[in-house]
Structure 1
Amino acid sequence: MCGGGGWDPGEATDDTQMAVLVGESLLECGGLELPDVFRRFRRWAASEPKDIGLQTEAVLDSGDPWDLAAALHFQVSQRAAGNGALMRAATSAVYFAPHGRDTTMDAARRLSALTHGDAAAWEGTAVLHELIRVALTGADPLTALPDTLAALRPDHRPRYATVLAPDWHPDLATEFNGAVWPCLGSAVWALRTTTSYEDAVRAAIDLGGDTDTVAAVTGALAGAVYGITAIPERWTTPLHVPLPGFGERVLRTPELTELATRLNT
């Protein structure tokens, strides 16, 4: 929020830019149209945004069809468990929340698979979708963790059970938090160990590493728990989201609030 490192004060990174693209596609198409989401991603990526994940960039720049690009990339690289699908899931989580656990987790997996061929990324995003759904009902998402873990693919369940356990701390992570499971685990840890939106986001940022994404995931989850009024005005006032590839559009807090409201109705 102070600016620096090539960023203006309050300027959103690729996490929020991609989340906006997902949300606008859901609203304009009246539901999940994966080819449309992929086209928007590709148009954005081609406009040289300030920040884009290496894996996401490779998939979107490959020229391969929307339904093959991520899988083909994974076949070659064997590395596709980054947090780049998790980071953009706030808007889709809100949109699918009214439709129940199975639907929201399925949508998370399908959206993740557009850019990430490793099912670990799909399962982590499915967990975030479900925890946000529970939080939006007014319940404590932490109490939903056992049932959410039970809904994961069995081969990915142990890894997520480890990072989502009550006694796990980000210092125990065996991978950089640019990977999907420590990123999600750090966000849940930040929520579990604080009592406000601001403190949760600050705790996430103070972990270092991939700070914008860990904070974006934490903010999505904490926002569902504490609500929009919990976000400090000194943060929302400078907030703005440029959308490279989509003209000169820059979304500010009123436009983002309207988007969130439409996604939740």
Structure 2
Amino acid sequence: MSFISEIMKKAGALVGLSVGDALGAAFEGLKPENKPVYDIIPGGVHKLKGGEVTDDTYLALAVAKSLIKYGKLVYDETALLMAESFRIHRNFFGPTSAKVFEAVLAGKSAFRISKEVYEAGGGRTDGSVMRGAPVGIFYSPAKVRTMSILYSQMTHYHPVACECSAFVNLMISCMCRGCNRREAYYRALSECRNEDVLGKLSQLKKIRLNPSIDALDATHCAVAFFMQGNSFEEAVSDAASVGGDTDTIAAITGALCGAEYGYSSIPERWLCRLIIREEIQKTAFELAEVSEK
């Protein structure tokens, strides 16, 4: 694969995440549309303008900017960048992330609070999966599983959330570096170390989709739409129509599609609606240029 193709796939993964987020945001928490969603529109539980993004994008941008600046995982700085996004846009955030970022803003350790949430029976929501694409873009397949779990543990210590994040990010890493989607999917299955995750993600067509905020449910939906779709537009349109946690499911689907099909596959009519398009694209291409080969 040429250098230019690799850059376009890496940039496409992050921009695709944001496009999926914006497309699905107007349908978050609603019943399934029962038809593909083809337009970015205003509305939803947060009463967004058409083209606004949610915490999925803001957290992914925070992770990406930290990787661009430091060239590696810097725990405290990354946690602070994410917590600052939470401070500005806190109405978007779920209970697990909110509890962790409140603690970070108060000067506490993200990892410690995340582990406490898990030990109390929480932390299995999809917040670390939705923001994880920059990890898959930046790290090579040999490193991405380990780094994905560390990134997840900053807010979502639950092993299912960690494994789902690692699964999606490994697929992204592989596709950004020349694998096709089937090769990436089967490699992710072969490296999965959690029986629940492996059981559900190995049977994409046999298990009914449940578009909840559970990390495994959301990942199952996104991977299923991605593997069954034939283009960026088809897969992400279907993901945005599923109901439930549509912004996150469409965001994860968009990241996977961007890594497979590249930036040029993203419909311009969706790109032009992104209100912070310039920031998203600038960050995406900068991350692509500094990421590992």
Q: TM-score, normalised by structure 2?
A: 0.78
Instruction: State how far apart, in whole Å, the 1-side matches of 2:264 and 2:62 are.
Output: 24
Structure 2 residue 150 is the aligned partner of structure 1 residue 110: yes
Structure 2 residue 195 is the aligned partner of structure 1 residue 157: yes
Alignment counterpart, residue 125 of structure 1, candidates 165, 179, 183? 165
1:45–1:254 CA distance, 2 compared to 1 (3 A): closer
Alignment counterpart, residue 136 of structure 1, candidates 172, 176, 183? 176
Instruction: State how far apart, in whole Å, the 2-side matches of 1:240 and 1:108 are.
Output: 29
Instruction: State how far apart, in whole Å, the 2-side matches of 1:231 and 1:158 are.
Output: 33
Q: What SS does the corresponding residue of 1:110 show, helix, strand or coil?
A: helix
Instruction: State how far apart, in whole Å, the 2-side matches of 1:264 and 1:110 are.
Output: 18
Is the Cα contact below 8 Å between 1:177 and 1:209 reproduced in 2? yes
Q: TM-score, normalised by structure 1?
A: 0.86
* 1:210-241, Cα deviation, whole Å (9 max, x unpaired): 00000000000011011111100011112134
| 1:112 CA displacement | 0.4
1:139–1:108 CA distance, 2 compared to 1 (3 A): same
Structure 2 residue 38 is the aligned partner of structure 1 residue 3: no
Runs (4+) of structure 1 exceeding 6 A deviation are none
Instruction: State how far apart, in whole Å, the 2-side matches of 1:39 and 1:253 are.
Output: 19
Is the Cα contact below 8 Å between 2:164 and 2:197 reproduced in 1? no
Instruction: State how far apart, in whole Å, the 2-side matches of 1:58 and 1:182 are.
Output: 22
One-letter amino acid of the structure 2 residue matched with residue 127 of structure 1:
F
One-letter amino acid of the structure 2 residue matched with residue 136 of structure 1:
C
| Residues 61-140 of structure 1 aligned to structure 2 (within 5 Å) | 61-62=102-103, 63=106, 64-76=108-120, 78-96=121-139, 99-101=140-142, 103-140=143-180
| Residues 1-265 of structure 1 aligned to structure 2 (within 5 Å) | 1-5=40-44, 6-62=47-103, 63=106, 64-76=108-120, 78-96=121-139, 99-101=140-142, 103-153=143-193, 156-171=194-209, 173=210, 176-241=211-276, 251-252=278-279, 254-264=281-291
Aligned-residue RMSD, C-alpha: 2.0
Q: More helix by proportion, 1 or 2? A: 2
1:258–1:23 CA distance, 2 compared to 1 (3 A): same
Instruction: State how far apart, in whole Å, the 2-side matches of 1:253 and 1:55 are.
Output: 25
* 1:165-208, Cα deviation, whole Å (9 max, x unpaired): 2433543x4xx521111111111111122100011001111111
User: Across the two proteins, how many residue pairs are aligned to each other?
Assistant: 248
Instruction: State how far apart, in whole Å, the 1-side matches of 2:197 and 2:192 are.
Output: 11
1:257–1:48 CA distance, 2 compared to 1 (3 A): closer
Identity, % of aligned pairs?
A: 24
* 1:62-106, Cα deviation, whole Å (9 max, x unpaired): 343133110012222x0211110000011121011xx333x1011
Is the Cα contact below 8 Å between 2:160 and 2:196 reproduced in 1? no
Q: Is there any run of 5+ residues in structure 2 with no aligned partner, and where?
A: 1-39
| Higher relative contact order (Cα pairs below 8 Å, separated by 6+ residues) | 2
